[in-house]
A and B are shown apart, each in its own frame.
Chain A
């Protein structure tokens, strides 16, 4: 962690995430999607652009299992992967 002890003023300031913190997936409900995503990454030499579909699926699983606040996919940067109309916005309280 960077402290302010450096002489140079280029200290790092951690910022809070935009949408808060992910609740922990204690029951492994989305583990399958995660494994698919990791396998895709390994197959494509860790290129994120090739595995966006899998990441979208994982986040969709999280939203479905109440592990993530429901958001339209455009807000998550998946506008190009949207094939059908998004589910109605149902903003849960953030954990």
Chain B
């Protein structure tokens, strides 16, 4: 029985069959005195021929397979990582293109950047009802440009209004010079977020106003605060709004520079 195994060894010099190895291992467990003549001869031959006894014949193919499969595994891993990175890059480019309309939508929804959220139709004035329990103090401020010589000041320092109610306020301007001066004004509302609810029905801004020498006029501002002001959670702590007008001099024949942010809505 053992002899064919040995013969096979001679012929192929390759792995032992399982059967032989198992038999060998069994025989090796036996004491040297108990081992048979055949096994002792086998061991002698194996040692002389330098054969490597591989008791674990099962794992040989798997080990070389393991080495190859590891490389394959690395290759496939690299491929998936590269695919993910490429997808992320393409996704970034797509997001950067899509961000422009998306941001615009977001601004309109959230009212950021002063984009008008509350409706400004004239019919709203006729149908709106005042929110009586929310009193807001409007403070008035008046400025002139350094080269503008008018005396420009508000006639009341503050006024208490409620949203949904139209209110009237007055400024006074005086031309102390001896020459007619044409002025043009713009306004500002602080806090900026509240500015979108501050609706002016009529005022004296953005149009040239001419004052003759030594003339003094009253300039009214007719405005209201949108009733939706009361429902905006961001305005919950806003109790004071400052309305600030600034007068500039409009020189004859000079084209007006575009006022920043001036837009008809």
Q: Give me the interface of A with B, judged by CB distance under 8 Å.
A: 1-4, 9-22, 24-26, 28, 31, 34, 37-38, 41-42, 45-49, 52, 55, 58-59, 68, 74-79, 95
Contacts and interface: CB of A to CB of B under 8 A. Distances in A.
A71 to B, nearest CB: 9
Q: Which of A14, A15, A19, A34 has the most CB atoms of chain B within a 10 A radius of its CB?
A: A15
B188 A26 contact: no
Interface residues of B, number: 62
Contacts, number: 160
A24 B161 contact: no
B113 A15 contact: no
Say what secondary structure dominates the interface of chain A.
loop
B85 to A, nearest CB: 32
Interface of B: 107, 112-116, 120, 122, 125-126, 128, 130, 132, 155-162, 165-168, 170, 186-190, 192-193, 195, 199-207, 209-212, 215, 217-220, 222, 224, 246, 259-265
A87 B121 CA distance: 23
16 contacts: A1-B188, A16-B206, A18-B120, A18-B125, A22-B220, A24-B209, A26-B212, A34-B170, A37-B170, A41-B159, A47-B159, A49-B130, A55-B166, A77-B165, A77-B166, A78-B166
